[in-house]
Chains A and B, each alone.
Chain A
Amino acid sequence: MPRALPWTSAPTGEGSTRRRILDTARVLFAEHGYPGTSVRLIARTLGMSDPAVYYHFPTKQALYRSLLIEPEYGELPLDRLPLTRENLVEQVVHLFGWWAARPEFGRMLLREQLTGQEASMAFMETSYEPWRREVERPLGVLLGIGGVDASEMLYDMMCGVFWDGILSHGDRFTEMTLEDAFQRRLRAMVQLAIPGPLEEEA
């Protein structure tokens, strides 16, 4: 089993001002919701003036939209490994790791999706795109019968793991996902969700 987990490295690099504004805003939006977070609050939390924030983002909405980035999954297991059932499991676990490292992003999104906020609803579609590319296609090739249905089921299950994790444990969820027991269970769950005979554990 690979020891280096993809989401143990810090997700953000050196903080430019723009970066710092985004990082702080994400946390505040997650804590207080979009309506409850003003540009003033963001500026004050950073020890900046309002105009300094407006210099980088013309409106609160523009700032929020800048947070809705398509996930960058980096190098994926299937970029270097042959397509097998086992490696596809690793691929799914890797994608999940991107989300597991960002509970505050998930909480921010879910809060607004529950209110039906347009930008966050549209993001549900956006975030499925990389999944289609990185999981649905290989799954289709592996199964030889088109993997759309199985891919959607797997996606919903992973969403469930993530939503349940952030609702039940908040930001502590990241830490929990790094535990061996969680990792083992997650892989076993993904195995179950991929159609076809299960591989015996070595």
Chain B
Amino acid sequence: MSSPSSSSPGRGRDDTRRRILEAARELFGTEGFDCTTVRQIASAVGITDAALYYHFKSKREILTAIWDLPLDGGVGRRRPDGAFSNEQLDGLVDASLDFTIGNDRLLRLMAREILAGDQTALALRLQSRAVMRRALRAHLLTTHEAEEAEIKTEAIIALLTGTSMKTQLSAGPSFPADVDVRVYRERTRRWVRALARLDDHEAC
């Protein structure tokens, strides 16, 4: 991720901006928005406060820019392909876990900001969940009736939310480094398969 500082002035400016956003996301996610100072962010980037203010007028403006950062991965582009199988289900679970792992700091920050009443953060969370929900429902509808697909979608979403948040919370800032991702992934796949009951369904 870390790139050497660029020589061209235009790229240098973008690079500093990006580094500010990454440092702020890390600090906001671990220390919280309120407890993080502009000075902390500047010193994490290795620039002066004044240099930071050149890019962002306020701490709030940094947060707003963080919400605009693209998220890593997700299930967005997955489309159903034939009857929904356990292997495809695993694929969706993996995409969801990779999303949680890849965006840990941002998701943590998002939850904290939602609890502090930030409507933008809430809108973003709802949006990213809607993508997952749509993907799951579309896959389930290949073999299920509407109501059943709906219930299974909600159950799987709830399980993924609960299990990933609990893992994230228990590990604290050492997530995902101190989590055995292989065990976490295997367990989540197994649980979601049990909940989806795709094998039961084939008999019908």
Cα A33 to Cα B172 in complex, Å, equals 18
- Count of B residues near A, CB < 8 Å? 37
Distance (Å) between the CB of A147 and the closest chain B CB?
13
Residue numbers in B under 8 Å from A155 (CB-CB): 162
Chain A residues near B151 (CB, 8 Å)? Answer: 185, 188-189, 192
Q: Is B169 positioned at the interface, with any CB of A under 8 Å from its CB?
A: yes
Give the complex CA separation of A116 and B126 in angstroms: 24
CA distance A15 to B197 in the complex (A): 48
Work out how many contacts link A and B, with CB atoms closer than 8 A: 101
* A161 contacts chain B at the CB level, 8 A cutoff: yes
- Asked if B158 and A160 sit within 8 Å, CB to CB, the answer is yes
**In the assembly, what is the distance between CA of A121 and CA of B170, in Å?**
7
Q: A148 — which chain B residues lie within 8 A by C-beta?
A: none
Contact call B112/A160, Cβ cutoff below 8 A? no
Q: Which 8 A-B pairs have the closest CB atoms?
A: A160-B162, A160-B158, A160-B161, A156-B162, A159-B162, A189-B155, A156-B163, A157-B159
Residues of B within 8 A of A (CB): 32, 34-35, 108, 111-112, 114-117, 122, 125-126, 129, 150-152, 154-155, 157-163, 165-166, 169-170, 172-173, 191, 194-195, 197, 200
Could you list 6 further interchain pairs (A-B, Cβ under 8 angstroms) beyond the known A31-B117, A33-B32, A116-B173? A33-B34, A153-B194, A156-B163, A168-B122, A192-B151, A193-B155
